[in-house]
Structure 1
Amino acid sequence: MQTGTVYLVGAGPGDPGLLTLKGKACLEKADIVIYDALANESLLNYLQPQAKRVYVGKKAGQHTMKQDDINALLVESARQYAHVVRLKGGDPFVFGRGGEEALVLAENQIPFEIVPGVTAGIAVPAYSGIPVTHRDTATSVAFVTGHESPDKTEEDAQVDWQRMARSCDTLVIYMGVKNLPYIVQELKTAGLPDDTPVAVICDGTYPAQRTLTGTLQTIASQAQEQNVKPPAMIVVGSVVKLHDSLSWFEQRPLFGQTIVVTRNADADARLTNLLEDQGAQVLHFPTIEIVEGIPNPDMEQAMQQLASYDWLIFTSGNAVRIFFQQLLTDNRDIRALHDLKIAAIGKPTAEQLQTYHLHADFVPDQFTSEQLVAGMLAQRIGTNTRILFPCSNLSNPHIAEQFRQAGATIDVLPVYETRLSTPEAKKVDELKSLIQHGQVSWITFTSSSTVHNFVQLVGQEFLAEYHERIPAASIGPVTTATLEEYGLRPRVTASKHTYQGLVNAMRGDE
């Protein structure tokens, strides 16, 4: 009987950037993915839309599926699909029960491959500034499960804490938070001194990561006081002392801040990426939905008449993307623009043009529609100048009006609609609760549309009561003016009207 292949893929410790290239390739070709609780769900974005997703996560006291049932599911899936991905947190063969699953596949003569992942035992300490080995300090390291029940007899116990304490400089303990008092006592009984450094790292490699440092004498009570919950990694040994000097992940400018992004992250992840690079925890609350107007007879007609235009104007990256998608669909390429000059409202739009190997002929110094028009009119655009303006259905009407007043002919071509997004009511309530309790550091607004729609989603009554708790960050003066119409005074307005400028403003760099 012919079967598919099962790929046991290590998802890494949490940060999606730590997924291996081969792991990414497996996800991209998967017909079905069977994934764990510790695998970052954002990795599922690499799947094809038709790929089936099955969650089999296991948390303390909450097992979606027993291990025997997971094993059976892998066998059954291999008999139905060509490419089966078993996505496991960290590395499949490091306390991931990957060996058990591989044995079941081998017994059933099902082809499989192991795709190693970055194990949490190395990555999480590294993200906390703790090297598990260090010259002159630690030349040996042991990875130990802390999940074993303390009720086991000495004969039944698989973890020999006495031997671990004597033989290794660094102990890295997985799944040990619940048993931390027991582990501490065992290590002390084994002869480790009370002042042995210990670190407990919660939510390692995620924006919510926090590191608790102490000693064998203090760490159990510290963890209890701080209400430490899994997932967490425990590190025991002198290398923990290096945390104070080498901590980097938790020192980034926006670390510990919760920032709401009101744009559609699926369509444009640039702002999210910039914020996460600075350490922020990003919450996506999309207020706008981009709906492409395809098929679009007006666009098709404009494509046929490109040679009749002098200028092509873009005021958004979405307009660039959709326009060139249509151009290429019509069996044309950028040579169709050989006589056209191109204007972009700002740097982000110009960068989107560069993805098509095109350089904007004009970008205003200040990225506003007023400066765009003024700058182009200064270049003697006027009578007999023909302009094509692919844009949103909500584009600023003053752009076309001012060009017409100057004698130019401008064809406004809406190529997409900006609509109100419809998040689940639960998500709206969750955001309101965070705002009420002061748990949001910033809410970013990158256009007037995001402001109008945000207000519509949270409601005018909520806004009136909690407007002082809405820490708005505005990308520019037009967006700021819209915020002020609703009685919202932004705490920062970017002086450079780009995503990077907005991030810099929140960092306090402007």
Structure 2
Amino acid sequence: MKKGKVWLVGAGPGDIGLFTLKGMEVLKNADVVVYDSLVGQGVLAKIPTEARLINVGKRADKHTMPQEGINQVLLEEALKGNRVVRLKGGDPFLFGRGGEELELLTENEIPYEIVPGVTSSIAVPAYNGIPVTHRDFCSSVHIITGHRRAGEKYDIDFKALTNTKGTLVFLMGIAALADICQGLLDAGMDPDMPAAVLQKGTTADQKRVVATVSTLKEEVERQGIETPAIIVVGKVCKLAANFGWYENLSLAGWKVLVTRPKGRSSRTADELRKRGAEVLELPSIRTVALDEQTELWQAFDRMDTYQWIAFTSPTGAEIFFEELKNAHKDIRSLAGVHIAAIGQGTAKVLEERGILVDLIPEIYDGDSLGEALAAKLTGGEKILLPRAGKGNENLVKILKTHGARVDDIATYDTVYEKSRLINIGEEIRTGSIDCVVFTSASTVKGFVESTGLADYSGVVAACIGKQTKAAADAYGMQTFVAEKATIEALIELVVKIKNK
């Protein structure tokens, strides 16, 4: 039997933007993903649907599976011939026990690769405006594990650390914060040495507490802190007040859920992240092309009888041209036919296939498309409408009222999706999600299907158009609608909601 292969992949500190390109590429091709509790939700959401999941849930002293068990799982899955991704928070070799996981693989001649990850010891201070080295303050940085076994003393030479005069970064040390600070003081560190605790860096829950080595424990107790968090000690900590940048972004501190059809890249998510939001990108619907496309192929054979083709989604346009190719036809068969698109996203798909649209409504929804197209009709025109099986019924009604003959042909179905890894309902109940962005009425319905909540009154919904808003209103959400049905207007709406 052919052996599989293992990739030890560092997922970074939380922000999916810090997940490496190689890590993403490896993850996309995984058969099995073995993941732990420190992997950011944004990265978890990128695990392919086809991959089998094994949660080993390591965090502090709470282990779903002991390290020896994890090592064995990697070996067994590789021996089955699988492509195994061991997805670890931060970097796999920095207190990630990656070396231990390689020992058993090496003994059994299992091929493996290491994909380094961005470590929180560098990234989290950076997101808080703390450079871990600075020519005016220090010339070295030291990363120390703050974790110790229960009942045992630290095996740390605090005197040596103090003598380096460098920046000290303690990972996994919050439970022993008092002991760490006291150890440094006993070793002769200046009591007024700046020090900081940095909570959940690179995420919406990022928070910092800056004090001195002698007052840090007291200040943390006063302000409160949650784990995971790191401890930074050194003169560079005092730069945070001037160099802090993340909190100045317009959506910093906000966690936004973006719903979208599975498989579609989300410019909305990208734009939200540029403004500092932590974006959880979860498909709430999936589009499935129909196996039987006889009606559409019959329409291809009478294409010269249509005056208009109206596309109501990028998916509808993509399937149309895929089936056109399968029917051994190309865009020449559309000669003389006018093309309408519901919005810029659909128009872009058409342009990529050499088609410039003749009509886009000012408001990107089915009713507006119907009204705009109806205004172009003189009566008796024939219109082809290739779209989802459960489309906007009012669109056809508007067109027929104005004398059009409409061939409304279903080319795909919309199926509701649910995350395997993230309990969105729980995220909503606990107030972890600040805003949910909806780009269609179907994503609203998919969100409701996947969460199954009894009460949606706590959901703040940013909606791209009035039909989407109406769908969210029906579930009692706190709804807001963009001034225009564009991604840019939708992003500005989220900013306005945060600042209201």
Shift of 1:160: 1.2
Q: Please give the secondary structure, in 2, of the residue aligned with 1:86.
A: strand
Q: Point out where structure 1 has 5 or more consecutive residues left out of the alignment.
A: none
| Superposed displacement of residue 163, structure 1 | 0.8
Cα distance change, pair 480–374 in 1 and its aligned pair in 2 (3 A): same
Q: Please name the residue that 1:318 is paired with.
A: 315
Tell me, yes or no, if structure 1 residue 245 matches structure 2 residue 238: no
CA contact (8 A) 1:165 1:187 kept: yes
**Corresponding residue SS for 2:75:** helix
Q: Distance in 2 between matches of 1:422 and 1:42?
A: 15
Question: Shift of residue 147 of structure 1?
Answer: 1.0
CA-to-aligned-CA distance 1:446-488 (integer Å, 9 cap, x gap): 444556777899999857xxx5x55443322344456667776
Contact 2:14–2:42 (Cα < 8 Å) also in 1 = no
C-alpha distance in 2, partners of 1:457/1:276?
A: 24
Amino acid at match of 2:110: I
Tell me if the contact between 2:258 and 2:280 (Cα under 8 Å) persists in the aligned partners.
yes
Distance of 1:42 and 1:308 partners within structure 2? 48
Number of the residue aligned with 1:365: 362
Give the stretch that moved more between structures: 107-116 or 287-296: 287-296
| Change beyond 3 A, Cα 1:273–1:199 | same
Asked if structure 2 preserves the Cα contact closer than 8 Å seen for 1:348 and 1:498, the reply is no
Residue of structure 1 in register with 2:100 after alignment: 100
Determine whether 1:502 maps to 2:490. Answer: yes
Which aligned pairs between 1:275-424 and structure 2 lie closer than 5 A? Answer: 275-282=272-279, 290=287, 292-369=289-366, 371-379=368-376, 381-383=377-379, 385-418=381-414
Aligned pairs for 1:126-165 (under 5 A) are: 126-149=126-149, 152=152, 157-165=154-162
Secondary structure, aligned partner of 1:114 = strand
1:440-479 to 2 correspondences below 5 Å: 441-449=434-442, 462=455, 467=457, 471-479=460-468
- Determine which of 184, 193, 199 is the counterpart of 1:187: 184
Q: Which residue number in structure 1 is paired with residue 72 of structure 2? A: 72
Work out whether 1:90 is the aligned partner of 2:87.
no
What is residue 233 of structure 1 aligned with on the other side? 230
Q: CA deviation at 1:127?
A: 1.8
CA contact (8 A) 2:258 2:282 kept: yes
Partner Cα separation in structure 1 for residue 125 and residue 92 of structure 2? 19
Corresponding position of 2:426: 430
- Check whether the contact 1:3–1:80 (CA below 8 A) recurs between aligned residues: yes
Once residues 29 and 125 of structure 1 are traced to their aligned partners in structure 2, the CA distance between those partners, rounded to angstroms, is 32
Kept after mapping to 1: 8 A contact 2:436/2:459: yes
TM superposition score normalised by structure 1 = 0.83
Which SS does the other structure have where 2:219 is aligned? Answer: helix
Following superposition, the deviation at residue 186 of structure 1 comes to: 1.2
With 26-35 and 117-126 compared, the bigger mean Cα shift is at: 26-35
Q: AA paired with 1:5?
A: K
CA contact (8 A) 1:210 1:250 kept: no
Alpha-carbon shift at residue 17 of structure 1 (Å): 2.5
**1:216, CA displacement in angstroms?**
1.3
Aligned-partner SS, 2:174: coil
Shift of 1:56: 1.8
* 8 Å CA contact 1:4, 1:111 repeated in 2: yes
For the 8 Å contact 2:293–2:411, the answer to whether it is kept is: yes
Q: Shift in Å at residue 98 of structure 1?
A: 1.4
Is the Cα contact below 8 Å between 1:263 and 1:446 reproduced in 2? yes
CA contact (8 A) 2:262 2:286 kept: no
CA gap of 1:326–1:198, structure 2 versus 1, over 3 A, is farther
SS of 1:62 mapped into structure 2: coil
Match of 1:3 in 2: 3
TM-score (norm: length of structure 2): 0.85
CA–CA separation in structure 2 for the residues paired with 1:453 and 1:72: 39
Shift of 1:170: 1.0
Post-superposition shift, 1:332? Answer: 4.3
Runs of 5+ consecutive residues of structure 2 not aligned to the other structure: none
Write the distance in 1 (CA, Å) between the matches of 2:197 and 2:213: 11
Q: Is the 1:265–1:284 Cα contact (8 Å) retained in structure 2?
A: no
Measured on the aligned residues, the alpha-carbon RMSD in Å equals 3.6
- Give the Cα–Cα distance (whole angstroms) in 2 for the partners of residues 174 and 428 of structure 1: 29
Report the count of equivalent residues.
497
Letter in 2 for 1:102: L
Bigger shift: 63-72 or 383-392?
383-392
